Amino acid sequence: MTKEEALFNYCLRLGDSSLILGQRMSEWCSNGPIIEEDIALTNIALDLIGQARTMLTYAGQLEGKGRTEDDFAYKRNEREFYNTLLSERPNGHFGDTTIRNFLHSAYYYHLFKVLSNSKDEMIAAHSVKSLKEVTYHLRHSAEWVVRLGDGTEESHQKVQKSFNDLWEYTGDLFEMNKVDELLIKEGIAVDLNDVKKEWLKTINEVLDRATLSKPEDAYMHSGRLNAIHSEYLGHLLAEMQFLPRAYPDAKW
């Protein structure tokens, strides 16, 4: 594997995770608990899809075969997507979405913080810009974790369950393979074990404020590195990719 090939895969990971999570967040439009929150959720979706566009475009440049952001988004199948398992989890209720966002935003926050110093200029610039966005996503979701955790008895139980249900997909966030190994040596990528330590601190702090308890570490699913997914991703893609697939000759 060359450095370029590794970097290409790394960009897909970042781009795909933002894209899939952004698609999920956009499903909230017109379904929020109050109108202000509807707008907040859409803002997050817009940031994420914007991040995806940057990373997928860069992946296309690295690959050098003329593929665009849309080619990557609309013309790949499940087994070619490298997004985190967490990002594709269905929205569920507002608590499920809040917890998923919180876990993912905290991951992105600590990841982009260190990637801002990446030796790859594009990755560094992308991380600096994205860090500002995810700092807000983290603040927004963390506040909701606290409100729901320390709200009513019902909300407390609901989000505790969300946490317990989603926890088993968080191991996947920090797995690494040869791609990481190679890019860490080059000073481009970062050791996700370090990111995990910081991430855990954030999670614990917020859980504490929210009067929630951390789930026991049990079995952790993996998939991201090998483009293995839950069945949910296929349905998400079928919907998202419908038009370009149904009318391959059309431009939109």
Partner 1 sequence: MNNTDNQGDVWEVFVQSKPGLPHKHAGSVHATDKEMALQNARDMYTRRNEGTCIWVVPLDAIVSSMPEDSGSFFEPSDDKIYRHPTHYVMPEGAKHI
Partner 2 sequence: MEDVKKLEEFQAKIDAEIKIEPKDWMPEDYRKHLQRQISQHAHSEVIGMQPEGNWISRAPSLRAKVVLLAKIQDEAGHGQYLYAAAETLGKSRDEYIEELQTEKAKYSSIFNYPTLSWADMGAVGWLVDGAAIVNQVSLQRTSYGPYSRAMVRICKEESFHQRQGYEIIAHMAQGTPEQKEMAQDALNRFWWPSLMMFGPHDSDSPNMGNGVKWKIKRETNDELRQKFIDKTVQQAEVIGLTIPDPDLKWNEEKGHYDFGEIDWDEFWNVVKGNGPCNKQRLQHHIKAHEDGKWVREAANAYAQKQKNKQLVA
* Chain contacts with partner 1 (rule: CB under 8 A): 34-37, 39-40, 43, 136, 139-140, 143, 147
Q: Which of 34, 121, 216, 219 binds partner 2 (CB under 8 A)?
A: 34
Cα distance from N-terminal residue to C-terminal residue, the chain: 36
Shortest distance (Å) from residue 157 CB to partner 2:
10
Pick the closer one to partner 1 by CB: 147 or 197: 147
**With binding defined as CB under 8 A, does residue 164 bind partner 2?**
no
Torsion angles phi and psi, residue 166, rounded to 5? -90, -15
Q: The tokens of 56 are what?
A: 């997928």
Pick the closer one to partner 1 by CB: 35 or 218: 35
**With binding defined as CB under 8 A, does residue 214 bind partner 2?**
no
Pick the closer one to partner 1 by CB: 34 or 218: 34
Please report which residue ranges of the chain form alpha helices under DSSP H.
Answer: 3-26, 35-63, 69-74, 94-115, 121-149, 153-167, 178-185, 192-209, 232-240, 242-246
- Tokens 């391959």 belong to 248
Measured distance CA(199)–CA(154) in Å, rounded: 27
* 76: enclosing H helix or E strand: none
**With binding defined as CB under 8 A, does residue 53 bind partner 2?**
yes
Shortest distance (Å) from residue 106 CB to partner 1:
17
98 backbone φψ class: left, alpha, beta (φ>0; ψ -120 to 50): alpha
**With binding defined as CB under 8 A, does residue 191 bind partner 2?**
no
Q: Which of 150, 165, 175, 191 binds partner 2 (CB under 8 A)?
A: 150
Shortest distance (Å) from residue 93 CB to partner 2:
7
**With binding defined as CB under 8 A, does residue 63 bind partner 2?**
no
